[in-house]
Structure 1
Amino acid sequence: MSRAVAKRLDPDPGLVAVITYDGLCTFEFGIAVEVFGLPRPEFDFPWYQFKVVSAESRRSRAIGGVVVEADAPLARLKDARTIIVPGWRDRNERPPERLLRAITQASARGARCLSICSGVFVLAAAGLLDGKRATTHWRHMPDLKRLYPDIRIEDDTLYVDEGNVITSAGSAAGIDACLHLVRRDFGSKVANSVARRLVMPPHRDGGQAQYVAAPIQARPGRTIGEVMDWARARLSQPIAISAMAKRARMSERTFLRRFNESTGAGAAAWLQQERMSRARELLESGTLSLADISAQCGYQSLETFRVAFRRSVGTSPAAYRARFRAQG
């Protein structure tokens, strides 16, 4: 396997600490281990340090009878740059006070916290989400709204990034949130490499719907998949939804319905996401001018591109590029 070199946003990604406790949600825990805890010999730069931190006793019994043995005490959170909270065992049970204190103190000194599924109830109980946007599995939202009315709940998203706090929806959305964090730290090329090892799509935007009428395939149905490939090859050009529908040999109404059923996203939103992904890759790895990048991503004016990029990524194209050059 070839070794990849990244222009990193941060030369030291630091320690990732995943919390364990009795009743641990096994799949959510596994996501954190898979993304942050495995060796990455394909990368020629420091990867995350990783520790399993116990919120209660050293040994925790996870769902399914699996026993997880922590390799660090709760006090290790003081050294963590990133804290992962897998799904909490009972949304009506207040987490241990010592756990909440440790998370609050870590957050106050700048640690990032990421919850998967019902893990949001731990971050909410710690007071980290007051007045902020957050999400969780759609089944848990009524309880989250009832218990924590000060949270601005996003009803139908995969994950919400509020800077130092990231919350994600149902279990598999935790993969998307973790890949999003990798993308923040290392850029699109590295995040895409991790996604390939997971046999995952390289990027699902946080605003994508949680519930999809038809199961999402690794590659959407042949007709829709072919149209997506056709559009990706033409991102430098204006692409009308009507043209995509014609390519699929469907009416526009049928195409929009089938596209949403196959991907969980609207066709226009998907196309915008693809343009932004291309822009990030060009900004991270190339020396093209902003005007050239704007044109290659299909924007008729540089100002339109700047506005769209800021709305999608949260910063300007120039600032995004500068962050990579500073660490290059």
Structure 2
Amino acid sequence: MLRVVAVVVEPQASFELACVADIFGIRRDGIPDWAEFLIAAEHPGPVGTKAGYRIVVEHGLAAVDQADVVFVTGWPTPAEPSRALTDALVSAHARGCLIAGLCSGTYALAAAGLLDGRAATTHWSQTDDLSQRYPLVRVTPDVLFVDHGDVATSGGAGAAADLALHIVRRRCGPELAATIARNMVLPPHRQGGQRQYAIDSRPRRQPDPFGGLLDWCVDHLADELSLATMARRARVAPRTLHRRFQSHLGTTPAAWVQQQRIARAATLLQTTNLPVAAVGAAVGMRDPTNFRAQFRAGTGTNPSDYRRTFAPPRRAPGRGLGPAVLPAGG
């Protein structure tokens, strides 16, 4: 019997807790009891959640002492975990318990020193902050989860289910993991990393310290946008423009243009039926092979898979306003 404990803290992230509770805590027809699941808190009793409801936690940190797997199911940054919690995690780890941080729960593991010198991940929006606050942690922003065998961390929200199913697969076998995933209507293995979810494809204007150059570039992504072209537009020397980009935006002109092209391509893949090659041409990457390679480098997935993941279901012409249906496996 696998003993699993989820450590919660107010305000608790509802989804991450639900993922591990559903995977480890629900009895399913045809599957013998295989896990014991408990929820624990440093101070048992009512615990508020980010969704506004409260849960009643019966167990304190003593439950961690008997666990085989401990999940920290989110953390309210920038708060630091208490000494009691970090001591409990370190003690459990020392006796061979797997300690897993889900999404922002990675912060608690980092504060406990369990990730020093090791790769880890968290929600894509927090990876830079995690790196700055815990420089000994090698933050890996593009993956869904990182598992070292004794400690593990997951990316944002839904990646909690990916890591939890992985732990089932590793501890209890692929057949059980596949059965649970099928019951939850989830893929046993999700393709790609969380970088594809970090692309903000919403069109927006941004503060421009370059006299309108940035907006002009965004409006001319299909054109050749070399450093020389951009410098002429800004009426400065190429070296000066390069230095100003580094100073104001923290990147090079070429890297910034590439980011804009990938973001525009993501928008077109979501909102149009243009062929993939035409999308590439529309953002200045006319070689389809190069476009696919550059899009994968920027998002962690290829254009066709990105479209399947993020484009809304499309109704066939003439079918009226009936419900949009996403086929199973689509």
Q: TM-score range by the shorter chain?
A: 0.5 to 0.7
Change (3 A) 1:55 1:261: farther
- Check the 8 A contact 1:86/1:116 in 2, yes or no: yes
Deviation at 1:42, TM superposition (A): 2.3
2:36 is aligned with 1:36: no
**1:204 paired residue among 190, 194, 204:** 190
Which residue number corresponds to residue 227 of structure 1? none
2:67 is aligned with 1:75: no
Deviation at 1:262, TM superposition (A): 4.4
- Check the 8 A contact 1:179/1:191 in 2, yes or no: yes
2:105 is aligned with 1:63: no
- Aligned Cα RMSD in Å? 2.7
**2:80 paired residue among 83, 94, 110:** 94
Q: Deviations over 1:250-280 (max 9, x none)?
A: x656776697234369xxxxxxxxxxxxxxx
Task: Give the total of aligned pairs.
Answer: 219
| Higher-RCO chain (CA-CA 8 Å, sequence separation at least 6) | 1
Deviation at 1:99, TM superposition (A): 1.0
2:136 is aligned with 1:126: no
- Check the 8 A contact 2:7/2:41 in 1, yes or no: yes
Q: Deviations over 1:41-88 (max 9, x none)?
A: 222x43110001112242111112211111312111100000011110
Q: TM-score, normalised by structure 2?
A: 0.61
Secondary structure of the equivalent of 1:211? helix
Which residue number corresponds to residue 113 of structure 1? 99
In 1, the alpha carbon distance for the partners of 2:146 and 2:112 equals 18
Runs of 4+ in 1 over 4 A off after TM superposition: 212-215, 251-259
In 1, the alpha carbon distance for the partners of 2:306 and 2:148 equals 23
**1:189 paired residue among 163, 171, 175:** 175
- Check the 8 A contact 2:44/2:59 in 1, yes or no: no
In 2, the alpha carbon distance for the partners of 1:84 and 1:169 equals 14
Q: Which structure has the larger Rg over C-alpha atoms?
A: 2
Secondary structure of the equivalent of 2:6? strand
Q: Deviations over 1:188-214 (max 9, x none)?
A: 222111111111112126x63432456
Which residue number corresponds to residue 8 of structure 2? 20
Secondary structure of the equivalent of 1:171? coil
- Check the 8 A contact 1:58/1:73 in 2, yes or no: no
In 2, the alpha carbon distance for the partners of 1:132 and 1:62 equals 30
Secondary structure of the equivalent of 1:195? helix
Deviation at 1:167, TM superposition (A): 0.2
Deviation at 1:98, TM superposition (A): 0.8
**2:34 paired residue among 25, 42, 47:** 47
In 1, the alpha carbon distance for the partners of 2:15 and 2:155 equals 13
- In structure 2, runs of 5+ residues without a counterpart are 200-265, 268-272, 277-287, 308-330
In 1, the alpha carbon distance for the partners of 2:119 and 2:70 equals 18
In 2, the alpha carbon distance for the partners of 1:42 and 1:263 equals 34
- In structure 1, runs of 5+ residues without a counterpart are 1-11, 216-220, 225-250, 266-328
2:132 is aligned with 1:146: yes
Secondary structure of the equivalent of 2:302? helix
Q: TM-score, normalised by structure 1?
A: 0.61
In 2, the alpha carbon distance for the partners of 1:253 and 1:157 equals 23
Q: Deviations over 1:124-172 (max 9, x none)?
A: 1111101111001111111111111111111211100111111000000
Q: Deviations over 1:229-255 (max 9, x none)?
A: xxxxxxxxxxxxxxxxxxxxxx65677
Secondary structure of the equivalent of 2:195? coil
**2:145 paired residue among 159, 163, 167:** 159
